[in-house]
A and B are shown apart, each in its own frame.
Chain A
């Protein structure tokens, strides 16, 4: 710009650098896929245990699932911190998902242990929280995929309030596949394609 670059060109340069910086870290769907697999496994296991009237291992199944999910999240978070840059969108996104991942097990464990919440009410509540988290992610990344998913979770979660039996776990597992794992795979494919294009 010391070389007669115009004011407009300078503003364009600033805009390009800012846009490029915001795109340094894109959601790659890995966490969604891995958490999805863990939760689907736990949901189906819970369904089968209730179907066979075996109730004692259920809390342990969920304790193992949550621990596995958190381990996965920590590994992904460590990997992201190695990129040497943290964007504001990533910070907001991480904050909303970390808080959701704290709140959901509390509702699940404390709610059912105290008897304040019916075990069959857990899934609809969790689905609504997931919907809200997806909505915030969609807004911060300006991503239509996440915004659409949030509505799917809200509609699915509301519908689950009418399923007052153990089939709630099976339906939630299906929702997790279609509203989390499949979109996660789409994001992962999109991310890999961009990575190849950028060399």
Chain B
């Protein structure tokens, strides 16, 4: 089993929580903050900080809305994020084959 060569991988995705966020968002239309928190077993602060990094890189986008007067932050992956994620997986596969 080959270990990572960190230089070959996108550092923005190369973190367990951010990888979890990207993996989850690639398979859904959108996911609300609390769903991401529950599924990835993250704390509010840690999740917010990592989501912000992905937002700043334009890998994810957020829509803030109200559902029955309660605020909801719905996150979804952008085209740029999808491309970056696909490239990340391709690099992982290359590393495995090495």
Contacts and interface: CB of A to CB of B under 8 A. Distances in A.
Interface of A: 1-2, 4-11, 13-14, 17-18, 20-22, 24, 81-88, 90-91
A17 B29 contact: no
B92 A11 contact: yes
A1 B14 contact: yes
Interface of B: 1-4, 14-16, 19-20, 23-24, 26-35, 39-40, 67-68, 72, 74, 89, 92-93, 95-96
Contact of B27 (A2, A6, A88): A88
Given A8-B1, A87-B28, A14 B96 contact: no
Nearest to A7: B95
B4 A1 contact: yes
6 contacts: A7-B1, A18-B24, A21-B24, A21-B28, A85-B28, A86-B28
A10 to B, nearest CB: 6
A83 B35 contact: yes
Contacts, number: 92
Given A1-B14, A6-B2, A13-B16, A82 B67 contact: yes
Chain A to chain B: the 5 pairs with minimum beta-carbon distance, closest first: A84-B32, A17-B23, A7-B95, A86-B29, A6-B1
A110 B20 CA distance: 50
Contacts of A2: 14-16
B83 to A, nearest CB: 16
Nearest to A10: B92
Contacts of B95: 7
A24 B14 CA distance: 25
